[in-house]
Amino acid sequence: MELWRETRHDLLLKGIDYEETFAPVARLEAIHILLAFATSKGFKLFQMDVKSAFLNGFIEEEVYVMQPPGFEHPKFPNRVFKLQKALYGLKQAPQA
């Protein structure tokens, strides 16, 4: 069974819930240089996507999450949990 997880961006405040955002994207100029170099050397280029990359990174900041509806602990329904690894949609995920 797969559980879909999301973060509530509407509840996050910059400076309180996160300090900065980051998107690990290569600049277009860097891609052009790589393609030109590979072509000049006769290299074959391959592209790949690691779908679980965000889920493998540890986060440095303290982030707490609420229990998803329907998955609450019976003895502690109002407990929050400290997040140890990144989640999709988390502002800190690309930096992890």
The domain locations on the chain are: 9-95
In terms of Cβ atoms closer than 10 Å to its own Cβ (0-12, 13-18, 19+), residue 54 is: middle
Residue 88: predicted pLDDT: 66
Quick: pLDDT tens for 58-84.
777 777 878 888 888 889 888 888 877
Label residue 2 by pLDDT band (50, 70, 90). Answer: very low
Q: Which amino acid is at 45?
A: L
Mean pLDDT over 12-38 rounds to: 73
Residue 8 has pLDDT above 70, yes or no: no
Q: Give the pLDDT of residue 1.
A: 36
51/54 Cα distance (integer angstroms): 8
The secondary structure of 39-55 as a DSSP string is HHHT--------TTHHH
pTM: predicted TM-score of the whole model, two decimal places = 0.42
Residue in this structure with the two tokens 């889920």, named with its chain if needed? 55
